C-alpha cells in the first residue's frame, strides 16, 4: 500500500534538519510505494510531459535491474495557477499514470510493465487542489527544489555509500548504463558535485541544424573557459546535475529561479566543491523548441527556427585569450594593490580595466585582502568574486566593446588551434549541418 511522506517523517542528520527547517518549501508531500529509504533519488520536474515521461521510463527500465533498488525515481508534476487547460489536462494524465504505478492498480499495460520492472517510482503533486506553484516563483527551479528537498527525507543516511540528489528532465532519455555509471562513479567514490555527459539527438527534422549549432555553442564556450583555465569550465544543464546531500544542504539547496536555475546552482556548488563529470554514460536532452523557459535549449532551438537569417556566430576567441591573461595575473597576485592589478589589466587590454572598474574591483579587492588571513582563504575569496556569472559578463562585455561575435566556423577553427585540436574540415567543403556535425563529434569527445 502506498504512503504519503511529509518533512521530518524520519530522523535526519542535524545538517539536513537545519536546512529543511530554514530553507525548504512545506506545502507538498511525497507519494511512495512504501515507507522505506533509498541510497539516491533522481528528481524529475514534469510539466505537460505525459508522452515524454513514458519515453523516459522506457529508457530507464532498460537499465540493469540490479541497481533499481538503490534509486528512487521521483516525478514532480507541476504547474502554476491559471495555466492553460491543456497543461492541466496533460498533468492530470501524468498523475493518474504515475499514481497507478505507485499504488499498483493501473490497467495501463505500460504502467504495469514499469511496476513489474522493479523501478521505484515516487510522485509529488504540485499541480492542483491548492498545491500549484505560486505564479511569482513557480517554474523549473522551484519544482526541482521541491523534489530535492523532499528527497532528503527518504535518503538512507546509514549506508556507507554516497547519498545523491540527481537531476533529470521528463523530455530526456538515458543510456542503458545510466544508473550503473552513476552508482559506480558517484555513489561509490568521493563525489560531491558534478554532471553527466550529454548529447542532443540530432537526427530529428526540422530541429537538426538548430540543435547541432546550439550544442556547438555550449561546448565552444566551455572549451574557451578550459583554454582560459577558468575554474568554472563545466556544463550547467539542469537534466545532468548531481549533488550529494552534504554539498546540497551546505550551499542552501536549489534556487527558485524560473530559468537559469541550473547555472546558478552549479555555480554555488563550484565555489565550494570540485565539479566532476561522469563520462561513462549519456543523457539525451530533448532537441525540441519550447515555451517553458525564456532561454536554454528549447528557446534557442525555437529562436533559430524563427530567424530568417539563421546566422551562426560564436564569441571571438580573442575574448578567451584576454580572460586567460587576466586569470593568470589575478590568481597569482597575493600582495599586489588593486591599482597595480588594474594597471596590469590595462596593459593587457584597456577595455579589461574598464570592465573591472565597472565591477567595482578596487572595493572588492580591498575586502578580499582584508578578510583573507591565509593564502587558502585568499584563493577561495578570489574564486567567489570572479565567479561563473562575472566570467560570463566579462565575455559579453568584450563582445560588445571590442571583440564582436564572428562566424561560428571561423571561431571554431581558431579555438581548435588554441587548444591544439585538429580542425576536421573546411566549411566550404560540404553543407553546414555536416560541417557542424564534424566539429561536434570532436567537441563531444574532448569537452
Question: For residue 2, how many other CB atoms are within 10 A of its CB?
Answer: 17
Looking at the structure, tell me whether residues 361 and 432 fall in a common domain: no
Looking at the structure, tell me whether residues 136 and 282 fall in a common domain: yes
Residue 182: CATH number of its domain: 3.90.550.10
Looking at the structure, tell me whether residues 393 and 413 fall in a common domain: no
- Average pLDDT estimate for 309-314: 81
Kindly give, in sequence order, each residue whose CB lies less than 8 Å from that of residue 309, ignoring residues fewer than 6 positions away.
Answer: none
Which of the listed residues 291, 309, 334 is the one where a domain comes to its end? 291
Q: Do residues 31 and 72 make contact, with C-beta atoms less than 8 angstroms apart?
A: no
Kindly give, in sequence order, each residue whose CB lies less than 8 Å from that of residue 220, ignoring residues fewer than 6 positions away.
Answer: 314, 315, 408, 411, 412, 415, 443
Residue 312 domain-assigned (yes or no): no
Q: Do residues 222 and 307 make contact, with C-beta atoms less than 8 angstroms apart?
A: no
Q: Which residues of 160-177 are buried (b: 16+ CB within 10 A; e: fewer)?
A: eebbbbbbbbbbbbbbeb
How high is the pLDDT of residue 232? 98
Looking at the structure, tell me whether residues 35 and 150 fall in a common domain: yes
Is residue 251 over pLDDT 80?
yes
pLDDT digits (tens, 9 = 90+) for 378-401: 999 999 999 999 999 999 999 999
First to last CA, the chain: 46
β 193-198/275-284 pair status: parallel
Residue 309 domain-assigned (yes or no): no
Provide the CB-side half-sphere exposure for 434 (13 A, CA): 7
Question: Left, alpha or beta for 47 (phi > 0: left; psi -120 to 50: alpha)?
Answer: beta
Of 22-31, 167-176, 331-340, minimum mean pLDDT range: 331-340
Looking at the structure, tell me whether residues 183 and 275 fall in a common domain: yes
Is residue 8 over pLDDT 80?
no
Question: For residue 338, how many other CB atoms are within 10 A of its CB?
Answer: 17
Of 25-29, 120-124, 260-264, 347-351, minimum mean pLDDT range: 25-29
Q: Do residues 41 and 14 make contact, with C-beta atoms less than 8 angstroms apart?
A: no
Sign of the C-alpha dihedral computed for residues 90, 96, 102 and 106 taken in this order: negative
Looking at the structure, tell me whether residues 416 and 284 fall in a common domain: no
Residue 70 domain-assigned (yes or no): yes
Residue 58 domain-assigned (yes or no): yes
Looking at the structure, tell me whether residues 104 and 61 fall in a common domain: yes
Is residue 371 over pLDDT 60?
yes
Q: Do residues 254 and 137 make contact, with C-beta atoms less than 8 angstroms apart?
A: no
Range of the domain at 411: 405-446
Residue 308 domain-assigned (yes or no): no
How high is the pLDDT of residue 294? 45
For residue 99, what is the enclosing H or E element? helix 85-103
Residue 77 domain-assigned (yes or no): yes
3-state DSSP percent of the chain in helix, strand and coil, to 5: 50, 15, 35
pLDDT digits (tens, 9 = 90+) for 328-362: 999 987 778 999 999 999 999 999 999 999 999 99
Looking at the structure, tell me whether residues 322 and 424 fall in a common domain: no
Looking at the structure, tell me whether residues 347 and 372 fall in a common domain: yes
pLDDT digits (tens, 9 = 90+) for 205-236: 667 888 999 999 999 999 999 999 999 999 99
How far from chain centre, in Å, is Cα 300? 16
Is residue 305 over pLDDT 70?
no
Q: Can you read off the three cell numbers belonging to residue 248?
A: 546540497
Looking at the structure, tell me whether residues 119 and 267 fall in a common domain: yes
Angle between helices 432-446 and 208-227 (to 10 degrees): 40
Q: What is the mean pLDDT of the chain?
A: 92
Looking at the structure, tell me whether residues 285 and 364 fall in a common domain: no
How high is the pLDDT of residue 39? 97
Residue 304 domain-assigned (yes or no): no
Q: Do residues 40 and 155 make contact, with C-beta atoms less than 8 angstroms apart?
A: yes
Looking at the structure, tell me whether residues 278 and 409 fall in a common domain: no
Domain count for the chain, please give it: 3
Is residue 259 over pLDDT 90?
no
Q: Do residues 87 and 44 make contact, with C-beta atoms less than 8 angstroms apart?
A: no
Of 76-90, 94-108, 214-228, 291-305, minimum mean pLDDT range: 291-305
Amino acid at each position: 500500500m502506498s504512503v504519503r511522506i511529509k518533512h521530518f517523517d524520519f530522523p535526519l542528520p542535524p545538517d539536513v534538519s537545519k536546512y529543511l527547517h530554514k530553507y525548504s518549501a512545506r506545502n507538498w508531500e511525497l507519494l511512495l510505494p512504501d515507507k522505506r529509504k533509498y541510497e539516491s533519488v533522481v528528481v524529475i520536474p514534469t510539466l505537460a510531459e505525459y508522452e515524454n515521461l513514458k519515453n523516459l521510463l522506457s529508457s530507464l527500465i532498460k537499465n540493469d535491474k540490479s541497481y533499481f533498488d538503490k534509486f528512487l525515481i521521483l516525478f514532480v508534476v507541476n504547474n502554476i495557477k491559471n495555466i492553460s487547460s491543456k497543461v492541466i489536462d496533460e498533468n492530470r494524465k501524468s498523475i493518474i499514470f504515475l499514481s497507478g504505478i505507485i499504488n499498483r492498480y493501473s490497467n495501463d499495460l505500460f504502467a504495469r510493465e514499469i511496476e513489474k520492472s522493479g523501478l521505484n517510482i515516487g510522485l509529488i503533486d504540485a499541480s492542483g487542489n491548492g498545491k500549484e506553484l505560486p505564479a511569482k516563483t513557480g517554474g523549473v527551479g522551484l519544482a526541482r527544489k521541491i523534489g530535492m528537498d523532499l528527497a532528503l527525507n527518504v535518503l538512507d543516511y546509514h549506508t556507507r555509500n554516497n547519498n545523491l540528489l540527481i537531476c533529470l528532465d521528463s523530455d530526456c532519455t538515458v543510456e542503458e548504463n545510466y544508473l550503473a555509471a552513476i552508482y559506480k562513479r558517484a555513489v561509490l567514490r568521493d563525489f560531491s558535485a558534478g554532471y553527466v555527459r550529454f548529447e542532443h539527438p540530432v537526427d530529428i527534422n526540422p530541429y537538426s541544424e538548430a540543435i547541432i549549432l546550439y550544442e556547438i555553442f555550449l561546448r565552444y564556450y566551455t572549451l574557451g573557459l578550459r583554454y582560459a583555465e577558468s575554474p568554472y569550465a563545466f556544463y550547467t544543464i539542469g537534466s545532468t546535475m548531481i549533488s550529494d546531500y552534504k554539498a546540497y544542504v551546505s550551499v542552501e539547496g536549489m534556487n527558485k529561479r524560473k530559468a537559469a536555475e541550473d547555472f546558478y546552482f552549479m555555480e554555488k556548488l563550484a565555489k565550494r566543491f570540485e565539479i566532476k563529470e561522469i563520462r561513462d554514460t549519456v543523457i539525451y536532452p530533448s532537441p525540441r523548441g519550447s515555451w517553458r523557459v525564456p532561454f536554454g535549449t528549447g528557446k534557442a532551438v525555437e529562436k533559430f527556427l524563427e530567424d530568417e537569417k539563421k546566422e551562426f556566430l560564436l564569441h571571438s576567441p580573442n575574448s578567451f585569450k584576454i580572460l586567460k591573461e587576466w586569470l593568470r595575473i589575478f590568481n597569482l597576485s597575493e600582495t599586489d594593490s588593486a591599482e597595480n592589478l588594474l594597471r596590469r589589466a590595462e596593459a593587457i587590454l584597456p577595455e579589461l580595466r574598464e570592465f573591472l572598474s565597472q565591477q567595482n574591483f578596487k572595493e572588492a579587492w580591498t575586502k578580499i585582502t582584508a578578510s583573507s588571513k591565509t593564502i587558502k582563504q585568499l584563493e577561495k575569496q578570489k574564486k567567489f568574486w570572479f565567479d561563473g556569472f562575472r566570467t560570463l559578463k566579462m565575455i559579453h562585455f568584450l563582445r560588445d566593446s571590442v571583440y564582436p561575435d564572428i562566424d561560428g566556423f571561423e571561431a571554431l577553427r581558431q579555438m581548435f588551434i588554441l587548444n591544439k585540436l585538429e580542425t576536421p574540415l573546411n566549411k566550404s567543403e560540404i553543407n553546414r549541418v555536416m560541417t557542424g556535425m564534424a566539429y561536434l563529434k570532436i567537441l563531444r569527445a574532448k569537452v
